[in-house]
């Protein structure tokens, strides 16, 4: 397959018999998060991989992945969003079964252990009700990721701005909403406790007077499951939260 970009149009040649498909950039990639796009450009998310989008919404990060042959799974509590992705997948003739796209909470996902090459969780974790809820979601994200796989998280943080504390790790952000916010020390401690490898340094975007969004990308070590660590990843997160 050959992809050419010129004047905002993508031309995709799929070999001798596949013909050429012309799409706008938006048709090919949808409203993809720029940091997910960065991982695609670097080959960390590639055709053929099994990708789970946990908290997928209406699938803004899945259009390109569905088009390019990833084995996509998705989950969200919004049934309309999940149905939208099912219809999108069918319209693109991916051949993926509708059961790949499930309605449910991130902290109780119906997927098996260590089954995904990539887990995406974008703009979800800062909606945790409290520390217990945050730990439960992170535990599930880590559980379903295979050794050697990559966890991509984009979440609200306190890196670069100060916010009014409501209680615990909940703060009032610029638009008046209450978010569960992490900081650099917490993310680095969690990385260490999970024995994960940082794929990139922490990257934070400051939206003026409103919020900070941090990109936290981890790779699970291939020997992770054999390490002498607490059996439940929630225990690991609990230890970190109590130190924070």
Tell me what pLDDT residue 79 has: 98
Per the CB < 8 A criterion, the answer to whether 151 and 142 are in contact is: yes
Which residues in the chain are classed under CATH 3.40.50.150? 31-243
Q: Report the percentage of the chain scoring pLDDT > 70.
A: 83
d(CA 28, CA 9) in angstroms, rounded, equals: 9
Q: At which residue do the structure tokens 């938006």 appear?
A: 26
Residue 191 in 3-state DSSP?
helix
pLDDT in tens, 223-243: 744 333 444 544 444 444 444
Would you put residue 120 in left (φ > 0), alpha (ψ -120 to 50) or beta? beta
Pull the structure tokens for residue 197: 């490898």
d(CA 2, CA 173) in angstroms, rounded, equals: 44
Query: Cα(first)–Cα(last) distance of the chain, in Å?
Result: 48
Tell me what pLDDT residue 19 has: 59
Fold classified for 31-243: Rossmann fold (3.40.50)
Q: Note the Cα 19 to chain centre separation in Å.
A: 33
pTM of the full structure? 0.84
Q: What is the mean pLDDT of residues 66-83?
A: 97
């Amino acid at each position: 397959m050959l992809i050419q970009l010129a004047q905002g149009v993508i031309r995709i040649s799929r070999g001798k018999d596949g013909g050429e498909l012309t799409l706008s950039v938006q048709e090919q990639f949808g409203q993809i998060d720029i940091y997910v796009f960065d991982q695609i450009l670097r080959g960390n998310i590639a055709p053929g991989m099994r990708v789970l989008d946990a908290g997928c919404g209406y699938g803004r990060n899945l259009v390109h992945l569905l088009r390019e042959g990833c084995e996509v799974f998705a989950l969200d509590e919004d049934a309309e969003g999940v149905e939208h992705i099912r219809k999108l997948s069918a319209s693109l003739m991916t051949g993926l079964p509708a059961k790949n796209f499930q309605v449910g909470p991130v902290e109780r996902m119906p997927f098996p252990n260590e089954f995904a090459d990539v887990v995406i969780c974008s703009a979800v974790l800062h909606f945790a009700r409290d520390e217990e809820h945050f730990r439960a979601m992170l535990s599930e994200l880590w559980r379903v990721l295979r050794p050697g796989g990559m966890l991509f998280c984009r979440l609200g943080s306190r890196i670069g701005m100060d916010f009014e504390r409501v209680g615990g790790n909940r703060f009032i952000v610029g638009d008046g909403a209450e978010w569960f916010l992490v900081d650099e020390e917490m993310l680095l401690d969690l990385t260490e406790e999970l024995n994960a490898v940082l794929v990139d340094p922490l990257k934070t975007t400051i939206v003026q007077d409103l919020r900070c969004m941090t990109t936290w990308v981890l790779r699970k070590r291939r020997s992770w499951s054999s390490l002498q660590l607490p059996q439940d990843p929630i225990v690991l997160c609990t230890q970190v939260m109590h130190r924070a």
